[in-house]
Amino acid sequence: MTATNRTSTGISPYTFRDIDPAIAHLERVLRAEGADSLFSRTYWRERVLQAGATPGLLPNQQQRLQRLLESIDSLPA
Protein backbone atom coordinates (compact mmCIF):
# COMPACT_ATOMS: atom_id res chain seq x y z
CA MET A 1 0.00 0.00 0.00
CA THR A 2 1.35 3.39 -0.86
CA ALA A 3 0.38 6.97 -0.22
CA THR A 4 -1.32 7.01 -3.62
CA ASN A 5 -3.67 4.28 -2.41
CA ARG A 6 -5.35 6.52 0.13
CA THR A 7 -9.10 6.80 0.43
CA SER A 8 -10.93 9.73 -1.05
CA THR A 9 -10.73 11.46 2.35
CA GLY A 10 -7.20 10.21 3.07
CA ILE A 11 -8.26 9.49 6.65
CA SER A 12 -8.38 6.12 8.33
CA PRO A 13 -10.75 5.42 11.23
CA TYR A 14 -8.22 2.88 12.51
CA THR A 15 -5.10 3.12 14.63
CA PHE A 16 -2.15 0.78 14.98
CA ARG A 17 -3.97 -0.63 18.03
CA ASP A 18 -7.08 -1.79 16.17
CA ILE A 19 -5.95 -2.37 12.59
CA ASP A 20 -5.21 -6.10 12.98
CA PRO A 21 -8.79 -6.99 13.97
CA ALA A 22 -10.06 -4.76 11.14
CA ILE A 23 -7.86 -6.56 8.59
CA ALA A 24 -8.92 -9.94 9.99
CA HIS A 25 -12.56 -8.92 9.63
CA LEU A 26 -12.04 -7.91 5.99
CA GLU A 27 -10.23 -11.20 5.31
CA ARG A 28 -13.04 -13.23 6.89
CA VAL A 29 -15.84 -11.41 5.11
CA LEU A 30 -14.19 -11.46 1.72
CA ARG A 31 -13.24 -15.13 2.07
CA ALA A 32 -16.77 -16.09 3.15
CA GLU A 33 -18.81 -13.87 0.84
CA GLY A 34 -16.50 -13.13 -2.07
CA ALA A 35 -18.54 -12.62 -5.20
CA ASP A 36 -21.78 -13.26 -3.32
CA SER A 37 -21.41 -10.14 -1.22
CA LEU A 38 -24.31 -7.73 -0.97
CA PHE A 39 -21.77 -4.93 -1.35
CA SER A 40 -19.95 -4.04 -4.54
CA ARG A 41 -16.27 -4.49 -5.28
CA THR A 42 -16.00 -0.70 -5.10
CA TYR A 43 -17.27 -0.78 -1.50
CA TRP A 44 -14.77 -3.45 -0.45
CA ARG A 45 -11.92 -1.74 -2.28
CA GLU A 46 -12.69 1.50 -0.43
CA ARG A 47 -12.75 -0.35 2.90
CA VAL A 48 -9.35 -1.91 2.22
CA LEU A 49 -7.89 1.40 1.03
CA GLN A 50 -9.30 3.06 4.14
CA ALA A 51 -7.46 0.52 6.29
CA GLY A 52 -4.35 1.11 4.18
CA ALA A 53 -4.44 4.82 5.08
CA THR A 54 -3.72 3.94 8.71
CA PRO A 55 -0.47 5.57 9.87
CA GLY A 56 2.32 3.23 10.95
CA LEU A 57 1.28 0.04 9.17
CA LEU A 58 3.81 -2.75 9.44
CA PRO A 59 5.02 -4.52 6.29
CA ASN A 60 2.98 -7.63 7.18
CA GLN A 61 -0.18 -5.53 7.50
CA GLN A 62 0.53 -3.82 4.17
CA GLN A 63 1.01 -7.22 2.52
CA ARG A 64 -2.28 -8.53 3.93
CA LEU A 65 -4.11 -5.47 2.62
CA GLN A 66 -2.44 -5.81 -0.78
CA ARG A 67 -3.58 -9.44 -0.97
CA LEU A 68 -7.12 -8.31 -0.16
CA LEU A 69 -7.00 -5.76 -2.99
CA GLU A 70 -5.80 -8.48 -5.36
CA SER A 71 -8.58 -10.79 -4.25
CA ILE A 72 -11.17 -8.04 -4.79
CA ASP A 73 -9.79 -7.41 -8.27
CA SER A 74 -10.13 -11.10 -9.10
CA LEU A 75 -13.83 -11.26 -8.14
CA PRO A 76 -16.22 -11.72 -11.05
CA ALA A 77 -17.81 -8.47 -12.20
Amino acid identity for residue 20 in this structure: D
Contacts of 44 (CB under 8 A, 6+ apart): 26, 30, 37, 68, 72
Q: Is the pTM of this model over 0.95?
A: no
For residue 76, CA distances in Å to 12, 37, 50, 71 come to 27, 11, 22, 10
Largest CA-CA distance found in the chain, in angstroms, rounded: 34
- Residue 65 CA, chain-centre distance (Å), reads 5
- In this predicted model, what pLDDT tens digit does every residue of 10-61 receive, in sequence order? 689 999 889 999 999 999 999 887 756 778 888 899 999 999 999 999 999 9
Q: Domain extents for the chain?
A: 3-73
Local structure of residue 65 (DSSP, 8 states): H
